[in-house]
Amino acid sequence: MPNWRRTRSSASSSIATTWCRWRGSAEPGRARAPRFSRVAPRATLSAVRLAHAQHATAARACATKSLGIALAMPGPRNAEPQPTWGTSEMHKMRRALLAVLAVTATQFAIAQQEPIVIGASIPMSGGVSTFGQHSRWGSELAMEEANAAGGVLGRKVEIDYQDNRCNPAEAVKSVTQMIAQKKYVAIFDGLCSSAALAIMPLVERAEIPFVVANASATSIAEKSGVGGNKWTFKVNPTDASMLDALVAWLDKEGKAKNIAFLGEDTDFGRAGSTGLEEALKKRGHKLAMTDFYQKGTADFSSVLAKIKARKPAALALYAIDADFQNMMRQWNGMGGGVPLTGRVLVDQVPKEIMSTGVLDGTTAVQPYDVNIDTPANKAFVEAYKKKSGGTAPIMVGFESYEATRILLDAIKRAGSTQPAAIRDALAKTKYDSILGTTLEFDKNNLIHNNAVILGVRDGKVVVLGFSKT
């Protein structure tokens, strides 16, 4: 009789050996197929169950082969009769084989639970890296909230951030690499208008959704949706729509005449100039003067002095990040003298400058401000500060947070990570914004959220009101 204890202990290393020992040794001088009780198959089945947990593939192959041997190869004529398996034993073997298949199916299912990966091309170095950091904080906060709630479609969400330095060529390079890897379900942002515009043809050819959170150039929306690129969705207002809201406010206050413009010589700055000029023209006004500067300019004194000499009623600024900080220091050193307007980043002026009163009289427009006094915004600010280590959100962090939530909601509603399904779900978005509006994309894949009209009074930023874009 075979040694069943020994057989059971050795089965985990070789099911074939286990089966052969049960059928009888092939060694000379040993009887083939000895008589045994019905305990033997039960012992072998236990060994099979033990083995397939460690060697699922081997168990399937060996068990199938061995079952064929058991059914097709009778022993010698003079051997004692072979045992006949009952229905219960056959069912047990079937269950063992099905268990092997179940292991394979489970592994397949686990493989399908790979994370949902979104690609983000943002400036993480260079002069606009502060904005890049806020973009990352905002989008990561939305991602982490989704993962804490069980993920999307039962899967974890990941965002792969790549640096574009706010440079169109670097943006093209980063997104081209993402598309080549074929693991990203959507591309996020670009942040700078020139970078976003450079990305748009790439995602259109690759047929992958591109969600623009921060870039504000009006031409992005003009080229999207019915404009041709059905894969690009712009979540934040355009420069034209925000400036129209601002000029409507200024005109009501009698402050829309004799406005000068100074902006960076990029798609962002030139879109600001065009938008402001059109908004003024609609109301019977025009720009007093227009000037541009190169990004990274160190000395603004000459251009600021030239503008002050023209004595405009207000100076509309289109400057961001390091350039804006540098400009504000020099403007303060010159004593100001002209009220500021446009896209003035009043929430990013150093306290020591703001406290001098040099920005008093400023009336600006932004898509967001931390001082909005609503329960939804207070909750957002608290969560954002926990994420950032105490830094309050600015417009970039807010826009990235809402854009990421809109994208994840679209994936959930699509019930799929297929790009076309996500695109179609994005087009049907209805999202409740922190600003208290329900957001939907228009025919140009553009969302029209409220613009926030801000003022500086007695060295402090105040929310003057809201205007639909």
Q: Between vectors from CA 163 to CA 161 and to CA 168, what angle results, nearest 5°?
A: 125
Residue-by-residue DSSP string for 114-172: PPEEEEEEE--SSTTHHHHHHHHHHHHHHHHHHHHTT-BTTB-EEEEEEE-TT-HHHHH
CB-neighbour burial class of residue 39 (10 A; exposed 0-12, middle 13-18, buried 19+): exposed
pLDDT of residue 321: 85
pLDDT of residue 127: 86
Q: How far apart are CA 29 and CA 12, in angstroms?
A: 27
Token couple for 251: 């005109």
Residue 313 DSSP SS3: coil
pLDDT of residue 17: 43
39-80 per-position pLDDT tens digit: 344 333 344 343 344 444 443 444 444 434 333 344 444 444
pLDDT of residue 468: 86
pLDDT of residue 30: 40
pTM (predicted TM-score): 0.74
Sign of CA dihedral 123, 128, 129, 134: negative
pLDDT of residue 425: 99
298-349 per-position pLDDT tens digit: 999 999 999 999 999 999 999 988 899 999 999 999 999 999 999 999 989 9
Rg (CA), the chain: 34
CB-based contacts of 78, cutoff 8 Å, min separation 6: none
CB-based contacts of 383, cutoff 8 Å, min separation 6: 141, 145
The mean pLDDT values, 10 residues at a time, for the chain of 469 residues are 40 40 40 39 39 42 40 42 55 65 50 86 94 98 98 98 96 97 94 96 98 95 98 96 96 95 94 95 96 95 95 96 93 95 93 94 96 97 98 97 99 98 98 96 97 96 92
pLDDT of residue 87: 59
Domains of the chain: 116-237+372-449 (3.40.50.2300), 240-366 (3.40.50.2300)
Contact between residue 96 and residue 60 where contact means Cβ atoms under 8 Å apart: no
